[in-house]
Chain A
Amino acid sequence: MDVLNSALYGFQISLQPINLLYCLIGVILGTLTGVLPGLGPSGTIAILLPITFHAPAVSSVIMLAGIFYGAQYGGSITSILVSIPGEPSSIVTCIDGHQMARHGRAGPALGISAFGSFIAGTIGVIGLMLVASPLATMALKFGPPEYFSLMILGLIILIYLTQKSLIKAISMGAFGLILSFFGMDIVSAQPRFAFGVDELLDGVGIVPIAMGLFGVAETLVNLEQTEEVKLFETQIKGLLPSRKDWADSFWPLIRGTVIGFFLGILPGGGAILASFVSYAVEKKVTKHPEKFGKGAIEGVAGPESANNAASSTGFIPLLTLGIPANVVLAMLFAGLLIHNITPGPLLLKEHPDVFWGVITSMYTGNILLLLLNLPLIGMWVQITKLPYRLLFPLIILFCVVGVYSIKNTVFDVWIMLIFGAIGYFMKKCDYEPAPLTLAYVLGPMLEQSLRQSLIMSNGTASIFLVRPISLIALVVAAFLLVTAFTGFAKQKRLQVVEGEDPLGQGMGPPGSE
């Protein structure tokens, strides 16, 4: 097969010692940047790009690519251990991953996350080799109306993330949307809701919000306890996923990979969208929906696979069309340009060594990441053994430095504190942080595609229904919304019949039959 030949050719390149070395450096750095919030992959790559000037083209791109998907591995580590997302695509992992850690199962959580990422990443790369071109063409079919409907679908899916009140979850989504509109309007350059504060012109910021809602708020709540805070069960139940864990995670892994594979091609929030679509899907198809939110391994296996598969396919628009999907890939683009290689429709023809070399290096990169991360699990798990009096100051320090390092302004720290307070109230009153954060991430794209679509259609909203992809997305969204409400209503009726749930934790998510 032609592809097989190309793959062999690619491996000849990527398995050369120097390229392996660059790959290793890349994935290590990627993991680090994933672990440390604020120090995103873009910052790292920016600093490293000049170094690549002196390195051969293929090697540098291999390294930069490694940073990109390596970050997806690292992001889940802090999500699981301390419920702070290292990357936006790891927000969903905080939900069940951290609960697993609290029950002494941090090891299996980290393990399934690593394995899932590996399997998904590898399958993603294989898929990439086989269907890059047709996938790219398919991605082009997504215009503003399709994006809008997809974002709407994404927001509706947020409801499936809720453990408690449906209305409160939707209102958090609306809150998140509104927050995302703060800043300068991208179309008219008008400042919106900036109140004359210059720093607000750039928007509120996902990192301060996430650190505040997840890190600071959580700490504030934990400190309420008058005795010694015991965050984690003392008995650590195993370092790796058990057989049952594997059995439970198998289908979520597969589903997550497929979801991530297709959603990853979309520029913008591909990996993020993929992670929580996967979570929602798992919650919907599982036989034990009540486990979700309390440490269901499916809630970790699915999303983690999804975000890694998405980061594989995220390369497609760049390699085939020359259009980078996000800032990190744009830097990769620039890196290629330095070496006079223009990614785009002609890349495959003019520089097959780069094309196949990079793709096959992703395979080796995933293996390296797995080999790196597995032994470290033992180390990471030790963190759960730290007494809380040491742990919480470190968490706070971590949050503060992470937030400050983005724009070097204390303003962001204040934002984090404000959201820490808001998050505290939210936790006490059963408003969940995940819908807010995810709506915040999707907001800008939602708004932009809405406006673009309306202009394209001369103000007729029918444009969303006339186009097939858009129509499908909206129909699914409507369906989910309706079943959410009816499921919820049913759940409430059940409660009234059987008396109040003494733990106040609800009998299950909406939509469970």
Chain B
Amino acid sequence: MKTRQTILLIACAILLGLNVSMAAEPNYPTKPVELSVGVEPGGGIDLSARMIAERIKPHLGQEMVVVNKPGAGGRVALTFLSKAKPDGYSLTSVGDPAIVLIPHLEKVMYDPIDDFTSVIQYGSFNIGYSVLADSPFQSIKDLIAFARANPEKLTVCSMAVDSPGSIGFQAMALHEGVKVKIVPFSGSGPAISAVLGGHVTVAGTSLSSQMPHIKAKKFRLLAVMGDERDPAYPETPTLKELGYPIVLESWYYIYGPKNMEKPVVKKLEEAFRKVIDSPEFTKFAQERLFWVKRPVAGEDLRTALVRRHKEHGELLKKLGMIK
């Protein structure tokens, strides 16, 4: 009996003697940072986030690991983020849909501005509407005509049911008084596959995700949804030109949980900015069509988002999509 107890005591003593109390975090970051993305792998948003994450290590000193948390246009990832610890190790790459658009249409489990810390914008994804290159539809007008003749037959898909692509098309349909079907997908990757396979007719995803297929002549780009024509596709009209005053730009930015410490946010902002301003990233962003001239960050970003949230609300009201 005694021997057993003694041995046990000695073992515990050794273990206790080796203990070192935890010191406060001296230098953020001391372990990898998680960047979650609200879409399925593949597709413009996922890839741009991964690109940034790969490039940030020398500036941050730690790796940034990308994790996919797809669903509901980014709302799933954001709901997780709103509950995460604001220690700087949980970030999300999020886009306008879940912040300035969807909250007007549905109840969301977070406050889009106040539950988060805005870090920095890194891109602006323009939406394009494409059909298969061998499809009989040559223009948006053709699509509308078809929808009018065949109510609820025209299928449209996008990165999510509530993405700017889906909403833009719905707004157009509403304006014209036709009915279309929006098929839910969770990411532009699967959505584009569906269109390529002929299962869905129209793809309303980012130009970034459609680009390789347009280039390979598999897709025919019918229109873009922007203030002006996209420099990469100067012959393609905007929805505005076609008579639909719908402009839903899609900013993408890095978000963190609310109440992150200012020095941590500053450090992150600097690191991200270094990556975004680097020539390789600029080239990459330009090639993949999401480049933004002067990325907004920190407090400026927050102010801009508040403003855009309001503007989108008004736009939706004007379009008759909300009361």
Contacts and interface: CB of A to CB of B under 8 A. Distances in A.
A17 B79 CA distance: 48
A188 B162 CA distance: 9
A50 B186 contact: no
Interface in B76-123: 76, 79-80, 83, 106, 108-109
Nearest to A145: B199
B76 A184 contact: yes
A346 B184 contact: no
A53 B54 contact: yes
Interface stretch (A164-172, A332-340, A387-395): A332-340
Nearest to A345: B216
Contacts of A198: 83
Interface stretch (A85-93, A245-253, A306-314, A317-325): A317-325
A239 B196 CA distance: 49
Interface in B46-91: 46-47, 50-51, 54-55, 57, 63, 65-66, 68-73, 75-76, 79-80, 83
Interface in A152-210: 184-189, 191, 198, 201-202
A140 B198 CA distance: 8
Contacts of A188: 72, 106, 161
Interface string B147-168: 0000010010000010000000
A345 B51 contact: no
Nearest to A43: B65
A327 interface: yes
A201 B79 contact: yes
Interface stretch (B20-28, B170-178, B187-195, B260-268): B187-195
Given A185-B72, A187-B72, A323 B218 contact: no
Given A143-B194, A330-B42, A455 B184 contact: yes
Contacts, number: 139
Contacts of B212: 322, 342, 344-346
A331 B50 contact: yes
A451 B108 CA distance: 22
Interface string A140-154: 111110000000000
Contacts of A378: none
Contacts of B193: 140, 267, 317, 321, 323
A462 interface: no
A49 B192 CA distance: 26
Interface in A274-332: 317, 321-324, 326-327, 329-331
A456 B50 contact: no
Interface residues of A, number: 46
Nearest to B64: A50
Given A186-B186, A458-B152, A330 B54 contact: no
A189 B163 CA distance: 13
B71 A184 contact: yes
Given A189-B72, A346-B215, A346-B216, A338 B190 contact: no
Contact of B41 (A321, A333, A337, A451): A333
Contacts of B183: 144, 452, 455-456
B197 interface: yes
Nearest to A136: B196
Nearest to A146: B199
B152 to A, nearest CB: 6
A323 B185 CA distance: 14
Sorted from nearest, which 4 A-B pairs have the closest CB atoms? A330-B41, A143-B199, A189-B72, A140-B197
Given A321-B193, A322-B212, A345-B212, 4 more contacts: A47-B32, A143-B198, A189-B75, A452-B185
5 contacts: A50-B57, A184-B72, A201-B79, A452-B183, A458-B181
